[in-house]
Amino acid sequence: EFQLLPGDFTGLEAELSPEEKGLISNLRDYLERDVRPVIDAHWEAATFPHEIVQGLAEAGVVGLAFEETRRFENSAVFRGWTALELARVDASVATYIGVQNGLALGAIGLCGSVAQRERWLPALASGEIVGAFGLTEPGSGSDSARGLTTTAERVGDEWVLNGAKRWIGNATFADIVVIWAKDVADGQVKGFVVDTSLPGFTATKIERKVSLRIVQNADITLDGVRVPADAKLEHANSFKDTARVLRKTRAEVAWLATGIAVGAYETALAYAKDRLQFGAPIAARQLIQERLVDALGLITSSITLCVRVSQLDDDDAQRDEHSALAKAVATSNMRQVVALAREVCGGNGIVADYGVGRFFADAEAIYSYEGTREMNTLIVGRSITGHAAFV
Ligand code: FAD
């Protein structure tokens, strides 16, 4: 029987079908059994738990949005909820899936031809191959719509790619990376499925991160990498196409951020009931209850917003500013919740063994990736005022 999430105070799980609840319940069992026990050690060592890749693929959370790979008809609310459930245990594992599923598979699913979808989607969904998504560059983060300097040039039957990418998740061990590059002929941003074993492709791990230590982010260089003509995603012909992918993934990152908040809140609530000070559980103190209630209020507002924005996706009515608002608000709420949860746990809140510290550190990366809070705020600002304040 599916258990109500501690953070789902108003019972929004009612939006899920019995089949969807069943998959989430199985996912939760799997995460508690195979992922939670190994995650702290990987976080400390900054290593990726390759031992869970197959199990994660079998959990069935990759490829749910596309006919080629979904196991049953399902909703965007459900797909978002799987991101929440993953992040509730670990933000890095949720990010790994976010890259594999939303960004790599999503880019090919949304921008690929029928043949490209048939070729790549099943292999990504089954975990046979790992994917990554290369948009950000050393010199262009927030302004990647205009600032990309990586180039693609059509030469005969091939495209030749030159440039550099930064921060690319999964890229140290990915089989393919969707690389976004400017076509020298028309100056438009186009997407290419690049085999990472090709000559001229190198990925170097970014070391010494203090947030999302498990995610393997890389600096990539593309030095005259030659890909066949059919590596270019058929329907990725300008940054508007990149933005179609990001609109959906941003909404899922809002869910992911909410999962981090739920994970931190649950941990703090259990700690508060257990920890005795002045002869009683600290949970019996008004100021501790206030922190827990503040956290629950923030989580409830995030889940409600996430559900609605995903329903808009299900209705084909989701716009960029909807998912931008969800990402900005849910990550702000998350940041407040992890701080409240950290306080409730006192000194133990900064020790990895007690759970909250990892959420606290990981939240910072989520706050900045897939569009910083500022950029997502400005996307909403442009929508409500008609003025683009970021350019
Ligand atoms: P900058 O763009 O340099 O921004 C720095 C600060 O300035 C931010 O606070 C920003 O909000 C602010 N700022 C910038 N412009 C404006 C403006 N006009 N007005 C107001 N404020 C502004 N990218 C990928 O392509 N693939 C990935 O897999 C990937 N994974 C990532 C994983 C992690 C852990 C991280 C940290 C990043 C990842 N990224 C990835 C990159 C991520 O999307 C960028 O970090 C993000 O877009 C911000 O870019 P930046 O870091 O270059 O910051």
pLDDT in tens, 158-180: 999 999 999 999 999 999 999 99
* Residue bearing the CA closest to ligand 1, atom 53: 141
Task: Tell which one of 135, 208, 369 to mutate to probe ligand 1, the residue whose CB is within 8 A of the most ligand atoms.
Answer: 369
| pLDDT computed for residue 160 by the predictor | 98
| pLDDT computed for residue 1 by the predictor | 54
Rounded to the nearest angstrom, the distance between the alpha carbon of 209 and the centre of ligand 1 is: 15
Task: Tell which one of 100, 135, 142, 172 to mutate to probe ligand 1, the residue whose CB is within 8 A of the most ligand atoms.
Answer: 142
Q: Which atom of ligand 1 is nearest to the CA of 136?
A: 25
Rounded to the nearest angstrom, the distance between the alpha carbon of 368 and the centre of ligand 1 is: 6
- Given a cut of 90, whether residue 145 has pLDDT beyond it is no
- Given a cut of 90, whether residue 333 has pLDDT beyond it is yes
| pLDDT computed for residue 7 by the predictor | 82
* Residue bearing the CA closest to ligand 1, atom 3: 141
**Would you say 242 and 99 are in contact if contact means Cβ atoms under 8 Å apart?**
no
Q: Which tokens is 239 given?
A: 């940054």
Rounded to the nearest angstrom, the distance between the alpha carbon of 279 and the centre of ligand 1 is: 47
H or E element in which residue 222 lies: strand 217-228
Rounded to the nearest angstrom, the distance between the alpha carbon of 141 and the centre of ligand 1 is: 4
Q: Give long-range contacts, CB 8 A cutoff, 24+ apart: 352-358.
A: 352/40, 352/43, 352/44, 353/40, 354/267, 354/271, 355/263, 355/264, 355/267, 356/264, 356/267, 356/268, 356/271, 358/39, 358/40, 358/43, 358/90, 358/91
* Residue bearing the CA closest to ligand 1, atom 5: 142
Task: Tell which one of 368, 370, 382 to mutate to probe ligand 1, the residue whose CB is within 8 A of the most ligand atoms.
Answer: 368
* Residue bearing the CA closest to ligand 1, atom 4: 142
ipTM above 0.95, yes or no: yes
Q: Which atom of ligand 1 is nearest to the CA of 373?
A: 11
Q: Which atom of ligand 1 is nearest to the CA of 135?
A: 25
Rounded to the nearest angstrom, the distance between the alpha carbon of 168 and the centre of ligand 1 is: 12
* Residue bearing the CA closest to ligand 1, atom 48: 141
- Given a cut of 90, whether residue 146 has pLDDT beyond it is no
Band (pLDDT 50/70/90 cuts) for residue 352 is: confident
* Residue bearing the CA closest to ligand 1, atom 27: 168
Q: Which atom of ligand 1 is nearest to the CA of 211?
A: 34
- In the chain, what percentage of residues exceed pLDDT 90? 96
| pLDDT computed for residue 2 by the predictor | 60
- Given a cut of 90, whether residue 4 has pLDDT beyond it is no
Rounded to the nearest angstrom, the distance between the alpha carbon of 134 and the centre of ligand 1 is: 13
DSSP 8-state class, residue 209: -
Cβ < 6 Å from ligand 1: which residues? 99, 133-136, 141-142, 167-169, 212, 215, 217, 365, 368-372, 374-375, 390
Mean pLDDT, residues 11-28 taken together? 93
* Residue bearing the CA closest to ligand 1, atom 45: 369
Q: Which tokens is 87 given?
A: 């992040």
Rounded to the nearest angstrom, the distance between the alpha carbon of 371 and the centre of ligand 1 is: 6
CA distance 343 to 267: 12
Q: Which atom of ligand 1 is nearest to the CA of 370?
A: 43
φ, ψ for residue 226 (rounded to 5)? -100, 120
CA distance 13 to 314: 16
**Would you say 94 and 259 are in contact if contact means Cβ atoms under 8 Å apart?**
yes
Band (pLDDT 50/70/90 cuts) for residue 346 is: very high
* Mean pLDDT lowest among 80-84, 145-149, 307-311: 145-149
Q: Report helix, strand or coil for 219.
A: strand
Mean pLDDT, residues 334-351 taken together? 97
CA distance 28 to 50: 19
